[in-house]
């Protein structure tokens, strides 16, 4: 359980050199106690102190890396809050896709191609998936090793090896050890052998219990055997039960620093219909899974899930921004309309979507407002008529069009006069919400 700041302070070097990033050892001790700093930041701390402070200074949920080398490395865990509005979520849930070793050559190649193809571009962002989970369905160690090799040769994604049989696991692990795959899983029945294999190849290990009680028990046993790079699975598979276990694990590790549960958690979907499956996966992404293993590889289902993951893991304090420049939507010419918005990514892309839908080629100029939305930017003095006029000039929109009409968001109608005065352009007040742009454009520009 956590130590107080003063107890930690006693163990520190008391140099007050500030190299840890805060001015004094005392301040550093307080930050450690609050779980907001890591002991590694102090270069002078002694080995004895490290030993004494080990558990107190460790983050509530351990950071685990799966993958290595030039293949994908997925970082899991190290979360500090229950709700994103409390601070932020840091390490987006890794999305893994199951591959069974019973697939014939052609089917395996096809499935891998589909999984590798799960990359998406939308609103200026690039979404990717993270891992391939290879399941030893055949129960045969040679078949398994063979398929694991094929998968490893044909994907850059990180790997999860799934087998109950420690001999099959070792055979496969030997081949892909450089990829640092996640070994799934040590259970009450096989934990000794499985832990030995994972330790030998220095691979992160998943520990599975039949329920929370058994999970605690097996985790403690595995830790006692000297392996601490763990991912945990509470064993539940019904949606509402998984939600409960994931919530409890997160809560106990964050609020109580309950060590046996202070690891990233892996969850598995069970639904067979792709639509049902992504909604089930969504529950686990929303509430605290660090890894979700699923089957659906169809893009139309995976895209909404990845979009939700990206939304959820957006830092509430740091809005996503687009570059402030002239954007050309469609085949623009000198008569195309010009729209002004802010560089808050969502403002920009809402406008872009509607302008596109209007089917009238147009220019859009997002003004740099530090990523704030129209009203907030205006209230903060970052979206005034003078500033917009300046940006229009800097970017040279007057060389792109022969007309002198510019559309501003309806919410800032009050800046129209100033903008007109400063820019010499005729200012048209557009709709308040982006949703109105399409109709507005058709009424005014077609």
Partner 1 sequence: MAVQLLKERYASEVGTVVLGATKEQGGTRSVSLTVGGEAALPFQHYEGSIPNRPIIAIEVTDVEPNWPEPLKEALGDVIKDPVAWAKKCVDEWGADAIYVKLDGADPDGANRTPEECAKTVKDILAAVGVPLIVVGCGDVEKDHEVMVKVAEETAGEKLLMGVAEQENYKSLVAACLGNGHSVIARSPLDINICKQLNILISEMNMPTDRIVIDPMIAGLGYGIEYGYSIMERGRMGALQGDKMLAMPMICTVGFEAWRAKEAWASEADFPGWGAQKDRGPAWEAMTAAALLQAGANILCMRHPQAVKAVKKNIEQLMETK
25 binds, among ligand SF4, partner 1, none (CB under 5 to 8 A by kind): ligand SF4
Residue 326 tokens, joined: 């002239």
**Closer Cβ to ligand SF4, 37 or 441, answer by number:** 37
Tell me which of partner 1, ligand SF4, none is bound by residue 280, counting a contact when its beta carbon lies within the kind-specific cut-off of 5 to 8 angstroms. Answer: partner 1
Shortest separation between residue 13's beta carbon and ligand SF4, angstroms:
4
216 is a site residue for partner 1 (CB under 8 A): yes
95 versus 183: smaller Cβ distance to partner 1: 95
Between 41 and 376, CB nearer to ligand SF4: 41
Residue among 300, 335, 402, 426 that touches partner 1 (CB under 8 A) = 300
Question: Residue 392: which H helix or E strand, with range?
Answer: helix 385-395
**Six-digit token pair at 184?**
């799934």
Q: Please give the Cα distance from 7 to 12 (Å, whole number).
A: 10
How many C-beta atoms surround the C-beta of residue 14 within 10 A? 12
**For the window 78-97, what string marks contact with partner 1 as x by the rule CB under 8 A?**
-----xxx------------
Q: Report 217-246 residues binding partner 1 (CB under 8 A).
A: 217, 238-240, 243-244
Query: Is the CB of 24 or the CB of 116 nearer to ligand SF4?
Result: 24
| Residue of the chain from 12, 194, 302, 340 that contacts partner 1 (CB under 8 A) | 302
Look at residue 312 and give the partner it binds from partner 1, ligand SF4, none, a contact being a CB closer than 5 to 8 Å depending on partner kind.
partner 1
Give the DSSP H or E segment for 146.
helix 141-154
Considering the complex, state which of residue 125 and residue 167 has its C-beta at the smaller distance from partner 1: 125
Site for partner 1, residues 307 to 346, rule: CB under 8 A: 307-308, 310-312, 314, 316, 346
Integer Cα distance of 258 and 255 in angstroms: 8
Q: Judging by DSSP bridges, how do beta strands 131-135 and 158-162 pair with one another?
A: parallel
Neighbour tally for 369: CB within 10 Å: 24
| Partner whose binding site includes residue 12, from partner 1, ligand SF4, none (CB under 5 to 8 Å by kind) | ligand SF4
d(CA 319, CA 341): 15
Partner touching 17 among ligand SF4, partner 1, none, CB below 5 to 8 Å by kind: ligand SF4
308 binds, options partner 1, ligand SF4, none, Cβ within 5 to 8 A by partner type: partner 1
Return the number of other C-beta atoms located less than 10 Å from residue 157's C-beta. 27
429 near partner 1 (CB under 8 A): no
Nearer to partner 1, 163 or 296 (CB): 296
Which partner, ligand SF4, partner 1, none, binds residue 213 by CB below 5 to 8 Å per kind? partner 1
- DSSP symbol at 164: S
Which residue number, 17 or 167, has a Cβ lying nearer to ligand SF4? 17
3-state secondary structure 342-371: ECEHHHHHHHHHHHHHHCCCEEEEEECCCC
Report the C-alpha gap between 371 and 16 in whole angstroms.
38
Both tokens of 241, joined, read 């039960």
Of 8, 176, 278, 329, which one interacts with partner 1 (CB under 8 A)? 278
3-state SS of 324-347? CCCEEECCCCCCCCEEEEECEHHH
Q: Does 349 bind partner 1 (CB under 8 A)?
A: yes
Q: Among 78, 100, 165, 276, which residue interacts with partner 1 (rule: CB under 8 A)? A: 276
Torsion, Cα of 252, 256, 258, 261 (10° steps)? 30
> Residue 153's binding partner, choosing from partner 1, ligand SF4, none, with beta-carbon cut-off 5 to 8 A by kind?
none
Q: Where are the alpha helices (DSSP H) in 159-290?
A: 166-176, 191-200, 212-224, 239-255, 274-286
CA angle 45, 47, 52 (to 5 degrees): 90
Alpha-carbon distance of 201 to 186, in angstroms, equals 15
Q: Would you tell me which residues interact with ligand SF4 (CB under 6 A)?
A: 12-13, 15-20, 24-25, 28, 42, 44
Shortest CB 45 distance to ligand SF4, Å: 6
Residue 426 touching partner 1 (CB under 8 A): no
- Residue 47 or 104: the one with the smaller Cβ distance to ligand SF4 is 47
Q: Which of 12, 162 has the CB closer to ligand SF4? A: 12
> d(Cα 329, Cα 363) in Å, to the nearest integer?
6
CA 62, CA 64: separation in Å to the nearest integer?
Answer: 6
* Closest to 222 measured CA to CA, from 264, 188, 173: 188
The item of ligand SF4, partner 1, none sharing an interface with residue 16, based on CB under 5 to 8 Å by kind, is: ligand SF4
Taking the CA atoms of 326, 331, 337 and 341 in sequence, report the sign of the dihedral they define: negative
Instruction: Give the interface with partner 1 as residue ranges (CB under 8 A).
Output: 83-85, 119-123, 212-213, 215-217, 238-240, 243-244, 247-248, 251-252, 255-256, 273-276, 278-280, 282-283, 286-287, 298-305, 307-308, 310-312, 314, 316, 346, 349-350, 353, 356-357, 435
């Amino acid at each position: 359980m956590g130590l107080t700041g003063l107890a930690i302070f006693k163990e520190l070097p008391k140099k007050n050199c500030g190299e840890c990033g805060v001015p004094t050892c005392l301040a550093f001790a307080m930050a450690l106690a609050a779980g907001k700093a890591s002991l590694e930041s102090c270069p002078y701390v002694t080995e004895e102190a490290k030993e004494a402070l080990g558990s107190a200074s460790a983050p509530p949920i351990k950071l685990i890396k799966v993958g290595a080398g030039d293949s994908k490395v997925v970082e899991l865990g190290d979360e500090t809050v229950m709700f994103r509005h409390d601070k932020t979520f840091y390490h987006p849930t890794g999305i893994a896709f199951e591959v069974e070793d019973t697939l014939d050559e052609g089917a395996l190649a096809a499935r891998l191609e589909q999984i590798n193809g799960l990359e998406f571009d939308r609103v200026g962002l690039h979404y990717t998936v993270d891992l391939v989970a290879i399941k030893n369905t055949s129960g045969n160690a040679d078949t398994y090793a063979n398929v694991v090799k094929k998968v490893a040769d044909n994907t850059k994604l990180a790997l999860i090896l799934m087998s109950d049989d420690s001999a099959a696991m070792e055979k496969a692990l030997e081949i892909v050890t450089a990829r640092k795959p996640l070994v799934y899983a040590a259970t009450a029945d096989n934990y000794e052998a499985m832990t030995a294999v994972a330790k030998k190849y220095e691979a992160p290990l998943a520990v599975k219990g039949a329920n929370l009680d058994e999970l605690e028990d097996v985790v403690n046993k595995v830790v006692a055997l000297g392996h601490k790079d763990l991912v945990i699975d509470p064993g539940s598979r019904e949606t509402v039960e998984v939600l409960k276990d994931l919530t409890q694990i997160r809560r106990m590790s964050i609020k109580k620093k309950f060590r046996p549960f202070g690891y990233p958690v892996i969850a598995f979907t069970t639904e067979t219909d792709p639509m049902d499956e992504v909604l089930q996966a969504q529950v686990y992404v929303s509430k605290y899974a660090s890894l979700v293993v699923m089957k659906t590889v169809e893009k139309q289902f995976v895209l909404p899930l990845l979009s939700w993951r990206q939304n959820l893991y957006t830092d509430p304090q740091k809005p996503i921004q687009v570059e402030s420049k002239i954007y050309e939507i469609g085949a623009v010419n000198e008569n195309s309309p010009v729209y002004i918005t802010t560089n808050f990514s969502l403002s920009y892309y809402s406008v872009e979507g509607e302008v596109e839908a209007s089917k009238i080629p147009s220019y859009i100029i997002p003004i740099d407002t530090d990523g704030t939305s129209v009203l907030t930017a205006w209230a903060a003095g970052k979206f005034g008529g003078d500033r917009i006029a300046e940006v229009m000039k800097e970017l040279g929109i007057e060389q792109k069009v022969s007309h002198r009409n510019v559309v501003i968001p309806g919410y800032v109608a009050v800046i129209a006069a100033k903008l007109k005065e400063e820019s010499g352009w005729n200012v048209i007040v557009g709709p308040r919400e982006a949703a109105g742009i399409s109709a507005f454009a058709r009424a005014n520009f077609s």
